Amino acid sequence: MVDCAVYVDGVRLPGAFSADEALTEVRTRGEGFCWLGVHEPSAADMASIARTFGFHELAVEDAVHAHQRPKLERYDDLIVVVFCTVRYAANDPTTGMSEIVETGEVMVFVGADFVVTVRHGEHGGLRNVRRMLEANPVQLGLGPGSVLHGIADHVVDAYVDVIEQVEDDVDAMEESVFDARSRTDTTPIYHLKREIVELRRAVNPLAEPLHILSTTSDLRVPKEIRRYFRDVADHHSEVADRIVDFDDTLSALVSAALGSITLQQNNDMRKISAWVAIIVVPTLIAGIYGMNFEHMPELSWTFGYPMALLVMGGIAAWLYITLRRRKWL
């Protein structure tokens, strides 16, 4: 358990509470709600929490095993929302092979008088969200829906931050591909494209839950909070659009890189062919005179050997100059 608190009229009650004590305090008072936050609970931990708050067994199973896609589910009066969290890992996209985007998960259980957040992964902590909400009693006084909005806003803001940093990686990759001084390598492009795909899988499915939260009136989300959810949904749509743009850009870079590699290979083959042409003439002459027949021309001439060397050198030099002018070398 990371933290457990009771809130009445948006103000945190003093003291430390267990999950049972917090829920009992709220229901004894008949007002307020409790917020329990846990990090990577075991099956036994979630079973205990489920007994206290009355969770459905399917929701408990999802909370233990994680790795769920973003979604919203309803179990009678209980709303369960799954968020995928993302974090940018510092990395050189042109050379590094480590992960650029790390993903985690936050599962939020929202009832009439409680919120339970289950987090998986080493990032995506909600401590700052709790502090921000506690500093705004008016919003927190709107109930558990305000906590759900705060978490959604925090997660989508993280998407925006990651997108801005990934954009720098895409720009650096683009410069690298079109830099005539560097050798083109498609491996970093495919690596970055794979990370973009992972980011898209984490971000895009959240569109439907945000739409439901911002438009459906029969959920436990006050009208004032639904307006805030519409703003979060707008930011999320912007992030999703930029991910599509990045994917298209990287696809274009792959095609450009493959074209550049083909051109480089053609240039290499042309240079190899030019040097082969230069070497083949001396090799031919040396091969002919190396057959050691008795009646070959100029074998008995004093200047035959120097003349053969001069002819080989002259032809090789002429070929070199000619191929150089034609930019084969």
CATH of domain 3-260: 3.30.460.20
- Phi and psi dihedrals of 290, rounded to 5? -85, 0
Domain 3-260 and domain 262-325 have a common topology: no
Residue 94 has what pLDDT? Answer: 47
Beta bridge partners of 229: none
Would you kindly state where each structural domain of the chain is located, as residue ranges? Answer: 3-260, 262-325
CATH of domain 262-325: 1.20.58.340
Residue 241 has what pLDDT? Answer: 92
Residue 180 has what pLDDT? Answer: 61
Residue 7 has what pLDDT? Answer: 93
- The token pair at 217 is 């009136």
Which of these, 40, 101, 145, lies nearest to 239 by C-alpha position?
A: 101
Q: Helix (H, G, I), strand (E, B), or coil: what is residue 5?
A: strand
- Phi and psi dihedrals of 70, rounded to 5? -55, 135
Distance between CA atoms of residues 129 and 149, nearest Å: 10
Q: Helix (H, G, I), strand (E, B), or coil: what is residue 232?
A: helix
Beta bridge partners of 33: 7
Identify the burial level of 265 via C-beta atoms within 10 angstroms of its C-beta, where 0-12 means exposed, 13-18 middle and 19 or more buried.
Answer: exposed
Residue 90 has what pLDDT? Answer: 65
pLDDT in tens, the chain (329 residues): 788 999 999 899 998 889 899 999 999 988 999 999 999 888 888 889 988 888 888 888 878 877 788 999 888 888 999 999 988 876 554 445 456 778 889 999 998 889 999 998 877 788 899 999 999 999 888 889 899 999 999 999 999 998 988 888 888 888 877 776 666 677 788 888 888 888 888 899 999 999 998 888 766 677 888 888 999 999 999 999 999 998 888 888 887 777 777 777 777 788 888 888 888 888 888 887 777 766 677 667 777 778 878 888 888 888 888 888 877 77
